Amino acid sequence: MNEGHLVLTFNAGSSTIKYGLFDCTAGEPVHIGSGIVDLRREPLMLHMQEGAVIDDIALTAPLTEDLREVIDEVLDRLGEHFPLGSLLAVGHRVVHGGDQFDGPVRIDDTNLLAMEALVPLAPLHQPHNLQLVHALRHLRPDLTQVASFDTAFHRTQSNLVRHFAIPQELFDEGVKRYGFHGLSYKYIASRLARLEPSLAAGRVVVAHLGSGASLCGIEGGKSRDTSMGFSTIDGVPMATRCGALDPGVVIHLLKQRRMPLEEVEDMLYHRSGLLGLSGISADCRDLLESGAPAAQEAVEYFALHVARTAAALATTMGGLDALVFTAGIGEHQPPVREAVCRHLAWLGLELDSEANAANATRVHAASSRVAVLAIPTDEEQVIAEEALSVGQPLPA
């Protein structure tokens, strides 16, 4: 590997830090390593994968609020396996880019302040993303850092789609539909363009179904509509998030039941969705294996709302040429794909049961009027590509 041709990516959450390492010697990022630190474990553990080799390494660094000592030890451990002196750039997933950022940017003082100003729009996600940026700035101020935004892909949507039916001054202040999971959708759009260019040029609904879930209507590779709006709680039900909810319910909980705001927030984000519906588990795999009626009903509810949302996005685009499933549930749960497509049979969707059961890429029947595919997503690949494109050395 030539010097200056490695890109490191970070995807930080409230309880985990995921990383990816990419060799860019050939001009495009090639994945050579990945791992995760589970911040909930005692002691902290670095789960590292290098090719076919998987290793779990206990970390000795204390877990502090600024994460500096943990990140310092992670970099030391990675340096034992990879020449981190050859780092060209570090790319970060940043959930919210607001209206300021419509693509990746090099993180300087000005951009960092702008990202911090967006924390109120994503208070449960943005601080964790920026925490790593600050830690690396302290530990390795020489490193070029690049931000990739989950909202940027959706900046091609019209204001007609982005508006809520509330006073205009609130829209002007930033209360609007932003959309999320954009890095995943960007990857799927590019992957579909290679697999099925004619479909990619048409009207496609992509269902990113994981513990967080949303759908996006993509026309000609551009986002036209999406299910998540102002926050990551909107749209279809998720593992623990409620999805779209009549705002009157929130008013009722606050005024009539006098629930504290923090308790309402915790319920809607952490105790609703599949977990709240079933009372059993937030994990779709557990629910599919369970014989309990509540588990079956939760999965059926999820599938119905995914199908309803797909139909709504098709309406925005004026038709549907392909439905693409991705992320953990979308890629690996044939019964969920089957249930969603059953609800959409009136649009001409027909599955090939054997291809669907095998988690094939193309799972539609030959007679289907709409193509149905299951394509694994790779947000880290997009982060690496964007870090490479923005993080090249500045001209002298």
Protein fold of 6-149? Nucleotidyltransferase; domain 5 (3.30.420)
Encode pLDDT of 293-340 as tens digits. 999 999 999 999 999 999 999 999 999 999 999 999 999 999 999 999
Domain locations in the chain as residue ranges: 6-149, 197-379
Encode pLDDT of 106-123 as tens digits. 999 999 999 999 999 988
CB-count burial class (<10 Å; 0-12, 13-18, 19+) for 27: exposed
* pLDDT value at residue 114: 97
Question: Which of these is catalytic: 76, 99, 150, 378?
Answer: 150
Q: Quote the tokens at residue 356.
A: 């669907």
**pLDDT band at residue 38 under the 50/70/90 scheme:** confident
* pLDDT value at residue 394: 55
**pLDDT band at residue 143 under the 50/70/90 scheme:** very high
Q: Quote the tokens at residue 72.
A: 């310092």
Do domains 6-149 and 197-379 share one topology? The answer is yes
**pLDDT band at residue 78 under the 50/70/90 scheme:** confident
Contact between 221 and 193 (Cβ < 8 Å): yes
* pLDDT value at residue 396: 45
DSSP 60: -
197-379 CATH pick, 3.40.50.720, 3.30.230.10, 1.20.58.1180, 3.30.420.40: 3.30.420.40
Nearest to 377 by CA among 108, 153, 142, 113: 153
In the chain, what is the straight-line distance between the N-terminal and C-terminal CA atoms, in Å?
24
150 is catalytic: yes
- CB pairs under 8 A, 24+ apart, for 65-72? 66/131, 66/134, 66/135, 66/138, 67/17, 67/131, 67/132, 67/135, 68/135, 68/138, 68/139, 70/17, 70/37, 70/39, 70/44, 71/17, 71/132, 71/135, 71/136, 71/139, 72/139
